[in-house]
Structure formats: structure tokens, C-alpha cells
Structure 1
């Protein structure tokens, strides 16, 4: 009889530990999901306003389509976007058909103008001559 009671206690302990581990795992998954959702929401709210300090050794080139996308993404921010020296403001919510004069297949060199603290003030795109 004593042996059966001991086995029942061990089995009960194992069941309690298993259920506790399952509940703890479920709580961890919920916490990780909440953290991921909060990070995603924070990143969405910061769209176009993040400062980067990455420096590349080779200047990046943008296609005309990327320039159009950048202009539309920066609308509504305090950051001015210029293409070939002309500032453009395209608000897709007000006028979806308004566009800027860029060649979609063209190559544009970006210049990021920053203040003394590293904050982005203006983006300039300059068209490069094609070699065809």
C-alpha cells in the first residue's frame, strides 16, 4: 500500500510539472507575440523618420521608381525631397495621379543632407547621364 501511494504522489507531481510547463510555455509565446506586435507598430509609426548611421563605401544608386516611392513615403514629414534641384510634394491621399518628372529606368544619385546631430533634413536625387 505504501508503494502505491508513493507512485501516486510521483505521478501527480509529474502531471503538475507538465501542466505548469505547458502553461509557462503558452505565457512565453503570448509575451513574445506581444513584443513583436509592439515592435512592428513602433516601426510603422517611425516610417521615414529613422536616422541611420550606416556609411557605405560605394555610393548607392536609385532607379526612377525608387525615387517616386521615396517622394511618396516622405510626404507629410518635415523632410524635403528634391529631384534635380526642384522640391516636390506628392500627397497620394489628396491627388493619386500627381507625379514628378523622373525617368523610371533612369539612375539617380542620392544625397542625404543632415543637421549637426545626424537628423535627416533633406534628400536630394540627381539624375546621372546614361552611357548608351
Structure 2
């Protein structure tokens, strides 16, 4: 068998495999599209009977150490951090000894301020009253 004949057979085999893969991919897309359309139809028919259980759990209190860690981690982002109404920015690369005046054993209540789109804009920490 000549060299040209072998190359022609390999090329034809590659073309057949490529076309087969394309048809298989098109069939998979069609099956997924039909499944999604069926899911949308079923969900629309169940209107009023669905109850979502997704809840975002936010911690109810942070320790002072967690507040300091959060301030350090949020530096350099667009999210500002406030502690008892005062904004703090500590860049650990510039000032490794910079601190935030918090009491490590005190609990702080976080308040997450978000935009209408749900983007986090600011985190405010407020010192909780201690009980004797």
C-alpha cells in the first residue's frame, strides 16, 4: 500500500470521527435542553407548592481576634471595615504592627451592608454589651 493511500485512509477516518463527535455533542445539547425545558414546565406547574429552604447563615458574634483578622483580610479590597463607627485600614505588608483598638475577649456584632445587587460594600462591627 502506498504512502498516499495510507494518508488518505487516516484523513477519512479522522473526518468520520470528527463528524461523529459533533453529532454526539449536538445530541447531548438537545437532551440537556429538553431536560431543562421539562424542569421549567414542572416548576411552573408547582407554583405555590414550593418552599425554599436556602438561608444564609451569618455569625451572630465575632471575637476581637476575628475582628482584627477581618480588618487585615479586607484591606486592599473594595469592602470597607468599621469598628464601633470608625473605619480602619491596616495593610500588613506596609505596617505589620498596625492594630485596631479592640478587646480580644469582647464580642462584636457584625453588620453586613450590601448593595441592591447583593454585593458586599461594608462590614461594621459593634461592641456588644457585656453581662456581668
Q: Normalising by structure 2, what TM-score?
A: 0.57
For structure 2, the 5+ residue unaligned runs are 1-53
SS in 2 for 1:81: strand
- RMSD of Structure 2 on Structure 1 (CA): 1.6
In the other structure, the counterpart of 2:79 is: 79
In the other structure, the counterpart of 2:115 is: 115
**Structure 1 residues 54 and 120, CA, compared in 2 at 3 Å: closer, same or farther?**
farther
Separation in 1 of the partners of 2:76 and 2:128?
28
Deviation at 1:60, TM superposition (A): 1.3
Separation in 1 of the partners of 2:122 and 2:116?
13
Give the 5 Å matches for 1:1-132. Answer: 54-56=55-57, 60-132=60-132
For structure 1, the 5+ residue unaligned runs are 1-52
Separation in 2 of the partners of 1:125 and 1:62?
8
- How far does the alpha carbon of each residue in 1:76-125 deviate from its partner, in whole angstroms, 9 at most, with x for none? 00100000000000000000011010000100000000000000000000
Separation in 1 of the partners of 2:81 and 2:55?
20
SS in 1 for 2:78: coil
Structure ID, larger Rg: 2
Separation in 2 of the partners of 1:55 and 1:126?
20
